[in-house]
Structure 1
Amino acid sequence: MQKSIEAQVLGKIKRTKRGSLFFVDSFTAIGNAKAVNKALERLVKSGELERAATGIYVRPVHDDYIGKVSPSVEEIAIAIAKRDRATIIPTGSYAMYKLGLTTQVPLNVVYYTDTSARKIKIGKQTITFKKASSKNLAFVGKTSMLAVQALRTIGKDQITEEEVKQIKAILKKENPKDLQHDLQLAPVWIRELLKTKAE
């Protein structure tokens, strides 16, 4: 019976594309958590799966040139949010990185979320989920959301003219309605800084 669960788990994994992420919860229709856990552990030992983080598994992608490709921190965060039916938005230095304001990938990637706060270790990096108010999660524009979070991180007194120019140029790609909506959620100083673009 135990082997049967492992075979069913492997069958489900092989029906998905490489790079897909799995949790114990992904296989609740196959068996109980304990049995599924054991099956996943054996599949890690056999090389069918890799452990991306505690309780998170991946069927690795193999590239002809660079070899094994591991899932990004963002892919893992999105998979966790999808599993938990949670809203997440990038904040801090990770928002700056995604906007192109810095080339340095932060070791601690922080997301606001509407579920419980927690930290997940992914190799040398950490994903931190911070419980946030509904207002902080109400952004609708992907770019304007990042711009507001990046500006909050840089700070009113630290922002340079070059950074403002760069952010305004990036925001030209944002849907004007989304931008107007998101500016209403931003602190007053950010609204003042960016409103010339929005008008």
Structure 2
Amino acid sequence: MMTLNIVVVGVGGQGILSLARVIGEAVLNSSDLNVSIAETHGLSQRGGSVITHIRIGKGIFAPTIAEGDADVMLALELIEAARYSSYLKYKESIAVIDDRLIRPSLPKVKLPNRDELIKHIQDRTYRMFVLEGFNEALKRGSPLSANMALFGFISSILERLGIVKNEVSLKIISSLGRSERVIKVNKELYLIGYEEASRLVSSDVLSLLKKRLLI
């Protein structure tokens, strides 16, 4: 059996590693597949560039994903998505990106053009999906819940591939929040992503990913 390779990228403080962990937990509790998670670049402290590797399959022999070998990118910020786009398998991968630009912390550094960033990523992928997770989370007063929209999106895809169960993902979300309000917002963001994927992800995208798992 082959391996499905997912990179999760963003900046410290966005819940990158938390997102990777809930994806891994959902797979482990829904299937008989193994999961490896490794954070190899950047710093998890607030504002630092972060990339986390998730590998899903029966036989995982290395924890990290080489450049050009990622099947899926989940990105919580556009600049970081463009920065790590070289990890994507050229024209045989998908990118799921939160439509958010974070101004670089260095003074006098110009904010990159949004459309140019999107085109840069789009040119490398088979298909790209742009979500409004951060804006939806901000409206609900819980910006840190933005990663749940990406969790919902990838959970929908993995459910259709037969390796994640929606009820398992929702149960995991219920265990995350420190308050009922946060849990409620997390579930709302999850469902936004889940429903977007159900609507936008076509059978050809699923077929592309199925090849990686020989399903």
TM-score if structure 2 supplies the norm length? 0.31
Find the structure with the greater CA-based Rg.
1
Instruction: With a CA cutoff of 8 Å and minimum separation of 6, indicate the structure with the bigger relative contact order.
Output: 2
